[in-house]
Chains A and B, each alone.
Chain A
Amino acid sequence: MRLERRSASSLGWQLLSPLIAVTLAMLTASALFAALGHAPLQVLELLFIAPVSDAYGLSELALKMTPLLLCATGLALCFRAGVWNIGAEGQYLAGCLVGGSVALALNSPDGPTVWYLCSAVVAGAAGGAVWAAAVALLRTRFHCSEVLTSIMLNYVALYLLLWAVGGPLKDPAGYSFPESALLEEAMLLPPLVQGYRAHVGFAASLLALAVLWTVVSRTLLGFKISVVGDSQAAARHAGFSEHRVVWTVLLSCGALAGLAGVMTVTGPVGQLTPHLSSGYGFTAIIVVFLGRFHPLGLLLAAALLALSFIGGENLQIELGLPKSIALMFQGLLLFFLLATELLTHYRLVPRE
């Protein structure tokens, strides 16, 4: 057998390859579970079905999906423009830090808390945007590869957060733990349904997805993004500035990732801690590719990957398997996704 380039990428394979990748990832994971002495079906059930078998589980799923969807929406914009922003994690953490700081500064049980909360959310989005702006500036002004700069800025953001919660933002009454004070009840995002943890941020993430869909399919901006992603010379020929598009997608992505960050702080966590991200900004990259850049695909992919996070915790509780099973599954998924991606551009032909 040998590989032959297809004259056109196959639409069928474009839809099929994520499904094949998911199946292969599940099969490989099953083999691994069997090797560890657990019945694969039981493990898969604990991983993917048990967590969402009740209303509480669904609310937890929505909660996990919120930051994933927000980051993935922003990344989908960037990737469409050929801007390989790997820095959603850092932009998320910048959003946590800036938004969280504002929330802590305004932290009070009464007063115009709605406005306080809104200021914190806006500040978080701005923080993420500023973090992405650094990447945009380096790329447009100095021709630095955004892949490198955005990855490196992830670490800068992480250590800034660690420094902040261990220093200026540390709770004086917190027994020296590297954590900020808790936010007042009034400074937290309202839940979607009373009694469950999923909050209005989930609605915001769905809205962001809808806006993405509209922008990409209906507006001139979306068209320009696709053109820049395909060919910068064509963008010059059309007569618009590639730099402006790069700035637009990076600032949007930074704002969305920052929003995801601040909504985690003012949502389920309620304070600044060193552990605000489970790598959402990185997992969101898998979401975008698994979802094939399509809004509906992003939604399904975000659900699957959020499920793997929750299911991983479930496995740890029920079977004592390490939580990092979830990360392993994500790794397998990306690996098979990239492998099957080959088949959308190439076909297997028998060697003559």
Chain B
Amino acid sequence: MNKNASGPPRLELIGLSRSFGAMRAVDAVSLAVWPGEICAVLGENGAGKSTLMNLLYGVLTADDGAMVWNGREVMVSDPRAAQALGIGMVFQHFSVLETMTVEDNIALALPGLDPKALQQRFSTICDRYRLALDLDAPVRDLSVGERQRLEIVRCLMQPKIELLILDEPTSVLTPTEVEQLFGLLREVAADGCSVLFISHKLPEVFALCSRALVLRRGAVSGDVPLEGADQDLLLSLMMDRGATAPAMSVTDSPKKRQHRSRQRLRVQNLSADCALAPGLDAVSFDACEGDIIGIAGVAGSGQDGLMAALSGEQLSAPESIQWDGSNLGSQGIRERRTMGWRSLPINRLGHAACPALNMPSNFLLTHMQNERFVRRGWIHWRSIWEATAMLVKAADVRMTSPVASANQLSGGTLQKFIVARELMDRPELLCCYNPSWGVDPGARTAIHDALRSAAAAGSIVIVISEDLDELIELCTRVGALYQGRLSRLQPLGPASVETLGRWMTGQETESAA
């Protein structure tokens, strides 16, 4: 039922752009999607996939560029306008209300539809695609797969549906549910509706889609027909290979020194449960002084659990984390801090720093055990103010006012402050999670320099990051998390970016052979 032979494309984007501050999240993207086509949108984290889809669906508006729908230029100002055109979207985080029934959830999304017409259209759609869904069931009783089915049915029930966008739809599904979803999507496409399938799981993309649009740093890096294409080609389009070559020279020297230095950290069979994300499954690695260990992985592969376990915010079995031969796993974050361990959580505002408190208070947050600042429960604000002022000056933290609170600082400025705060009295170990996420290039360089010089002075630095460029620039050895398991750690070589990419998608055995 492919109708693309004649007529205009269903959707065409011409030079679509959107910036957040200095960062161009979507950079002059041009593409076309044909009626009845299932097209994959691929890219690493932060490549701009979600921003692009939010532009299509009217959640965000574009700064520049045009969108052509069925041959006519359109402006999509909000999701209602997108729905009126015939665009439906299934978000990664479901937008259904748990306390209401399936019927109420549909009625809420499709106002102006009387109950009788709603029930009729619902049963038509369910019959057409052989979907089992109970209209009266409360959503809280539905499984994750059923909730997703509800979202899709809701889109299909729109007065008009010609383009269905799914944002990482398989990340929460079991393999059987994935098969069912793919069957449904193929039928929907056969009826002439175009499908945009956002994912970073290559096998699924090959199984479902006929074409892949690859995004890198907000721009289209490839538009590849999938028949006959191989995974390595897509991986290389997703990842920035330009960064590999210069990274070698940076990683050269610490790698040599590593042979002389002594091993201090040993992580052994570290496992942890996590409420929502996957936990950790027998993670083991060790590190010597001066090491910068990089941990890659797509979001939600166990990074949160690893960060919590290493920082000491979550306790683990005593012998699972060893420091200079003594067991540290059951010691809390305060005890570890007195051993010289420091951490940089992923959330600056609200975790690493208190949003409404000023910088001296935020300085005190991780220096409460220092006798210089707190003696017998009494705070010495004067020394804290002095220390903060020195820190601010040394780390070039630009604040509008000395009494500014943390939420008045830009992300990069705050992160520079936090990095300087943690590195102040040369830590023995620093564990950071996405240390330069969302900061401007200047701050990024400053943060990387600070981490590098800490390692040069003998600290162990562990960088958990979803930014491969960052890991390549910084680290002496890199591994990847996949579903809570950590791959081997290996020094980076020219060929290793692809290897790393495979590890991130759980294909370690293949490359280990």
Contact = CB atoms under 8 A, between A and B. Distances in A.
23 contacts: A7-B408, A220-B374, A220-B377, A220-B378, A221-B377, A223-B361, A226-B354, A226-B357, A226-B361, A227-B361, A227-B365, A230-B357, A231-B355, A233-B345, A233-B350, A234-B352, A234-B353, A234-B365, A237-B351, A237-B365, A238-B366, A239-B368, A240-B368
Given A230-B356, A231-B351, A233-B351, A238 B404 contact: no
A14 to B, nearest CB: 12
Contacts of B353: 234
Interface in A204-226: 218-223, 226
Given A230-B354, A234-B353, A223 B364 contact: yes
B418 to A, nearest CB: 10
B275 to A, nearest CB: 13
Contact of B352 (A7, A218, A237, A239): A237
Nearest to A8: B408
Looking at chain B, what size class is its interface with the partner chain?
A: 20 to 34
B333 interface: yes
Contacts of A237: 311, 313, 333, 343, 345, 351-352, 365-366
A239 B377 contact: no
B405 interface: yes
A243 interface: no
Given A7-B408, A220-B368, A221-B377, A239 B350 contact: no
Contacts of A233: 345, 347, 350-351
Interface of B: 311-313, 332-334, 337, 343, 345, 347, 350-357, 361, 364-366, 368, 374, 377-379, 381, 404-405, 408
A240 B354 CA distance: 14
Contacts of B345: 233, 237
A238 B368 contact: yes
A325 to B, nearest CB: 37
A234 B311 CA distance: 13
Interface residues of A, number: 19
A212 to B, nearest CB: 16
Contacts of B311: 237
A8 B405 contact: yes
B333 A223 contact: no
Contacts of B364: 223
Contacts of A238: 333, 365-366, 368
A221 B377 CA distance: 7
A275 interface: no
Contacts of A239: 312, 332-334, 337, 368
Contacts of B381: 218
A223 B360 CA distance: 11
A332 B326 CA distance: 63
A223 B313 CA distance: 20
A220 B384 CA distance: 13
B354 A227 contact: yes
Given A230-B354, A237-B345, A219 B378 contact: yes
B99 to A, nearest CB: 17
A280 B20 CA distance: 50
B378 A218 contact: yes
Given A8-B404, A238-B368, A219 B355 contact: no
A38 interface: no
B316 to A, nearest CB: 16
Given A220-B378, A223-B368, A240-B334, 18 more contacts: A7-B408, A218-B378, A221-B377, A222-B379, A223-B361, A226-B361, A230-B357, A231-B350, A234-B351, A234-B352, A237-B343, A237-B351, A238-B366, A239-B312, A239-B332, A239-B334, A239-B337, A239-B368
Give 5 closest A-B pairs by Cβ, nearest first: A239-B334, A230-B354, A239-B333, A233-B351, A231-B350
A236 interface: yes
Nearest to A231: B350
B94 to A, nearest CB: 24
Interface string A1-21: 000000110000000000000
A230 B356 CA distance: 7
Contacts of A230: 354-357
Nearest to B366: A238
A24 B106 CA distance: 46
B274 to A, nearest CB: 15
A18 B179 CA distance: 62
Nearest to B308: A236
Nearest to B335: A239
A344 to B, nearest CB: 12
Given A234-B351, A234-B354, A219 B365 contact: no
